[in-house]
Structures are given as C-alpha cells and as structure tokens.
Structure 1
Amino acid sequence: MIERVLRLYPAAYRRAHGGEIVATFREMTAGEPLGSRLREGAGLAAHATRMRMGLGTAAPVAKVLALAYPFALAAAAAACGLHLLSWYAGVVSSPAPLGVRLGTDLSGAWGALLVSSLVVVAGSVAALAGRWRVGVPCTVAGLLSFAAAAVVSGRAFGDPVVTPAAMVLAAAVLLACPQDRRAEGVAAGRAGAAGAVVALVVVPRAAIASHGVPWVSTDYGCWPLVVLAATGVALTWSSGSRGGRELAAMALASPPLLAQAYTVAWGEAAAVACLAAALPATAVAAGLAGHLRRSGRILR
C-alpha cells in the first residue's frame, strides 16, 4: 500500500524523501491492525495531495488555512447543529406519536442526514479539543456522508445542489490544512473562539424555535453569518492586521453557513439584501478595526 501512496507525491519530493517516508510508515504500522494502517495511509495520501497542490506547511496559504481551520470546524458543527435543531423542533411540534415519528425520520436518507449531522458535531468537538487525528477524519466523513444523503433526500435538509457542494467544500478546507498547522489553528484561544461561534449561532436559534424570544418569530439565515463576520472583525482587531487574512479565513469557513442561509433566506428580499451586503460591510469593518488597533499601538 505504501508504494502506491508514495506515487502521489511530486517526483522531486519522492526522490528526496521517499525512503524516509516508507521507513517511517512501516515502523509506525508494524504489528498494527488493518484500521490503523489504513488511517496512516490515508493521512499520507492527504499529505501527498497537499504537496501536489502547493499546500505545504511553508506555503503562504498555509497560514490562512491554519486560521480558517478551527472556524471551518465551528461552521460545520453550527450548520449541522441547526439542522438537528430544526428536526427536533419538528418532532416536538408534530402531532404524531414520538415512536412513529422517530421510526420514520431515522430511516433512509433522513436517518443518514441526522446521523451525519451528529457525527460532524462530535468530530468537530473532538478536533477543537486537540484530538484532530480522530476528530478531523470523523468530521470529514460526516460532511461527505451528509452531502451524499442531501443529494438523495432532495430538500429535506437544504438545497440538493448548494448544500452538498458546501459540505464538500468544508471537508476540502479541513483536509487542505497541513497537519502540523492544525495545532497552531486551535492555539492562542482560537478553539475557544470557535466554540463561542457555535454557541452564538445555535443558542439564539434554539431560543427562537422554542418561542423564547417573543418579538422574533423566525430567522432568515442572516444571524449565523453575522456571527462569523463579527469573528473576523474581532480577529483583525486582536492581531492589528489589515484584515485580509482574517477575511479570507472566514470566507473559507463560511460555506456550510452560507448554504444554510441560502436555503432559509431565498425569496426574502430583505434577507438576501442583508446577506449580499455582509461581505463588503465586513471588509470595511475589518480594515477599520485593524487600522484603529495599529494606530493605538503607534500612539503607545
């Protein structure tokens, strides 16, 4: 197996490091069960693919991916959490007996969507806690199975084209982040910030679904994107940068929430206008935040 994986590397890299890669792989997997060997082989294949695409650790885009990584996990968990919340609200409000409703919903494509959502949430939590060797493959598998089930189920959990594409893009962002950059991605409080993104997206929506906010009857998908945009501005302020890298990272993290907003807000002119204005408004706010922070440093 390792010889086939080795062919995925660029020729120059394979000539320089092929022997070391093979020796390390065989040493690490000696006596290990098939599952462990396959997992290590999949990790090497992902690394080889990143090298072919110019996404090595030293590549400039690796810094953006490291910043996007925890928030891509957060966006995936938040989007799947919203899907689970929507399903649960439907179960609670349904006049059908609980057993009948569960028996219907947990079969076929619907069941695959619900299980996939749970897998994504659990994997994202594990990865943000630092267990990325388990969490990232779990999250990616959940996203890809969600995408496949969303194609089959039609509009059960979103648009049958936009939603699967967004989930695949989210999985690609997670896989594109170099492994040694993942620890950097969750360092410096970013894991906590990513967890706060999930909470700020899901908790208000849960309050709306439970009619705990009497003056708001529904949500058109804008709020999750506002949370992500505000996170980009906050990161720009804390770093004092010009905001380009932070905006790029939030854009890479946003596909699951964009897809969810698209399916919820489509047809609502005011909501679509707000979503269309979100990116330029965030760019201006991020640039201003970075400028103010840099000015404050200069004055001190």
Structure 2
Amino acid sequence: MNVALRTALALYPARYRRDRGAELAEVFADTTAGSGRLATAREALDLAAYGLRLRTGLTDIALPGRLLAAAAPLLVGALLGLAVLPGVGDWREYTLTRAARSGTDLPWPRLVENIAVLGLAVIPLLLVAAAALGAWRAVRLLGAVVALLGAVRIGYAALSLPPSGVWSGWFFAYETTALVPYLLGGLMLAVAPARPADSHGRTDRLLIVAGAAAGFAVTRAQGGYDTRNLMDGWWPVALLLLPLLLVLFAARDRLLPAALGLAVLPLTAGFSLFSLWEQLGGVWRAAPWAVGTATALLLGYRLLGSVRPTRRQTASLAG
C-alpha cells in the first residue's frame, strides 16, 4: 500500500475503513494501474475527499449533506439577492464604483482587492446561470471562488488597518461582517453534495428565485450593511434567531424550511452578531447570551429529534 493510499484511507471513519478498506485499496490499485503520478495523485485526492465527506456527514445520504444539497439553490439565489443595487444607501456601492473606475495602474495589493470586489459582483450571476442549467459541479467550483475572493478581501482589510487607533478594530470587524456571507456561503456551496438525481430543473429555478427574494429582504432589513443603519432593538435578534429556528426543522427531516434558514443564515449571522456586540457593549457581555441561546437551540434540536411520530402521522407517511 503506497503512501498516497494510506493517507487517503486515514481520513475515513475507523469502522468504514475496517469494513471496506481492503475493497477500496483493490479498486484504487485497479484504477491507477499503469497510470502516471498525476493520475494517481488525482485518484488519491478523490478518495481522500470522499473520506472527509463520510467523516463530516456531507454525503448525499447523511442529514447534513442532504440539508446542504437542499439549501444549494436557495443559497445561490440568496447570494444574488445580496448584490449591491445603486441608490439604496449601501456603502458597498462606493466600494464597487471605486474598483470599477480605478483601472489597473495600482499597487498589487490594491489591484487584487479591486479584482476581488468586481469578482464578487459578477460571480453570483454566473452561479445563478450554472444552477439554473443544472451544472452543479460548476456551482461548487464557483462557490469555492466566491469563498476565496471573500477571504482575499478580509485579508486586504487586515493588511490595510492603521497601526493604531480606537476605530481600526471596529472598522475591520464591520467590513469583515459584510464579507461573511460570501465566505460562508461560498464554502457551503463548495462542499455541498450534488443535487439529487430526481430533482427538477423548474423546481430548482423556483428555489433560486425564492432564495434571491429572501436574500434581498434580509439585506434591506439590515440596511444594506450601512453604518447609518446599524440595527437596534430586536432586529438583530430576529434576523439571527429566525433562520436558526428554521434550521431546527431538520431534526424532523423537514428539509425545505431548514434549507431556507440555512441559506439565509450566512447573510444575517455576522451583521446581527456585530450589531448585538455593539448594543451589549463587548464580547464578554454578549458571551452569556450567546452560550444560553446556543444551549437552548441544541436542546430544542435534540427534543425535536427524539419525539416519535404519532400513529396517525406514521400511517399518513406510509400511505
């Protein structure tokens, strides 16, 4: 057994490796017989990737994987609904306009930042086109690009911080929260399993439209990530808890409402937490509320999962 195969198999759950390790090794040997190093490395990477999916539950038969697959078209639409629209008082409009007018005669960090800004404006349109055509492999690839561009912009924001100043950390946290939807949303699309074979293109397109409407609605509710519209009162609580409560439907295998909550959550979580951090006066004051809420949600999920269906519900499902 070569090093590449041993490394790939090490990523599989121990029980799966014991039961099917020999079979996987035999298939790997047959597939790579007479192949070059590049082809062997590609097969090893594919084998390792599936091992990671098994270990994390992101297969098309495990609940997390099925939930991500169900959320994919909604999330594609939500990232489109997050787009910057001119004239709505969103500071991101200034950033996008500046990047479009700056040209290429710039220092390379600023040039990379501008490319990332423009890319995050264009790629959501490509995501919608790929998802509407059922090209989910392209959607996963574009999702990885979205996450990468979001990470690039966060890195640029960190490098651009002034060496000192009371507001430097505040502005970095604020800009980062506006990029969390791209970072988390792109990662979720990149790791989502393929859509079920029996999924219909028309249904997926309707889900994309629904996701776009939801994404636009929550972005407008948040004031378009504008400092003049930082949320006060119960708005950040509502925009954080409502998606989380929808995700709890997954405990009852109700994937559609859970998928909607999961698709909207990357758009609301960061900015809601940022607004709550401001209202409560810092991380340490917000921590007890965060721990209590997380505990209550976890208990609620377990209680929902432990409730057995009634005899009437079982009969209706069977018949």
The TM-score range, normalised by the shorter chain, is: 0.5 to 0.7
Asked whether 1:174 is paired with 2:174, we answer no
- Partner AA of 1:252 in structure 2: L
Q: Secondary structure at the residue paired with 2:174?
A: coil
Q: Secondary structure at the residue paired with 2:84?
A: helix
Asked whether 1:16 is paired with 2:36, we answer no
Q: Which residue is 1:189 aligned to?
A: 203
Asked whether 1:78 is paired with 2:81, we answer yes
Q: Which residue is 1:239 aligned to?
A: none
User: 2:150–2:183: 8 Å Cα contact kept in structure 1?
Assistant: no
Asked whether 1:67 is paired with 2:70, we answer yes
Asked whether 1:253 is paired with 2:256, we answer no
Q: Secondary structure at the residue paired with 2:57?
A: coil
Per the alignment, do residues 102 and 169 of structure 1 end up closer, same or farther by CA in structure 2, a change over 3 Å counting? same
- Partner AA of 1:133 in structure 2: R
Asked whether 1:139 is paired with 2:128, we answer no
Q: Structure 2 CA distance, aligned partners of 1:25 and 1:141?
A: 33
Asked whether 1:27 is paired with 2:31, we answer yes
CA shift, 1:264, in A, is 11
User: 1:143–1:167: 8 Å Cα contact kept in structure 2?
Assistant: yes
Asked whether 1:198 is paired with 2:244, we answer no
Q: Structure 1 CA distance, aligned partners of 2:111 and 2:196?
A: 36
Asked whether 1:125 is paired with 2:139, we answer no
1:208-259: CA deviations, max 9, x gaps?
A: xxxxxxxxxx99899xx99xx99x99xx9xxxxx995333212211234226
Q: Secondary structure at the residue paired with 1:162?
A: helix
Q: Structure 2 CA distance, aligned partners of 1:255 and 1:89?
A: 23
Alignment TM-score, normalising by the size of structure 2: 0.53
1:239-298: CA deviations, max 9, x gaps?
A: xxx9953332122112342268659989999xxxxxxxxxxxxxxxxxxxxxxxx9xx9x
CA shift, 1:194, in A, is 0.8
User: 1:9–1:49: 8 Å Cα contact kept in structure 2?
Assistant: yes
After superposition, where does 1:1-300 map in structure 2 within 5 Å?
A: 1-22=4-25, 23=27, 27=31, 34=38, 42-79=45-82, 81-82=83-84, 89-90=93-94, 100=102, 107-123=111-127, 125-153=129-157, 159-179=174-194, 181-183=195-197, 189-195=203-209, 197-198=211-212, 245-258=255-268, 262=272
Please identify the structure whose Cα radius of gyration is greater: 2
Aligned residues: 244
Give the root-mean-square deviation of aligned CA atoms.
5.2
Per the alignment, do residues 140 and 10 of structure 1 end up closer, same or farther by CA in structure 2, a change over 3 Å counting? same
Q: Structure 1 CA distance, aligned partners of 2:68 and 2:277?
A: 33
- Partner AA of 2:205 in structure 1: A
Q: Structure 2 CA distance, aligned partners of 1:84 and 1:263?
A: 26
Q: Structure 2 CA distance, aligned partners of 1:200 and 1:117?
A: 18
Q: Structure 1 CA distance, aligned partners of 2:201 and 2:46?
A: 22
CA shift, 1:11, in A, is 2.2
CA shift, 1:70, in A, is 1.6
- Partner AA of 1:170 in structure 2: G
Per the alignment, do residues 115 and 28 of structure 1 end up closer, same or farther by CA in structure 2, a change over 3 Å counting? farther
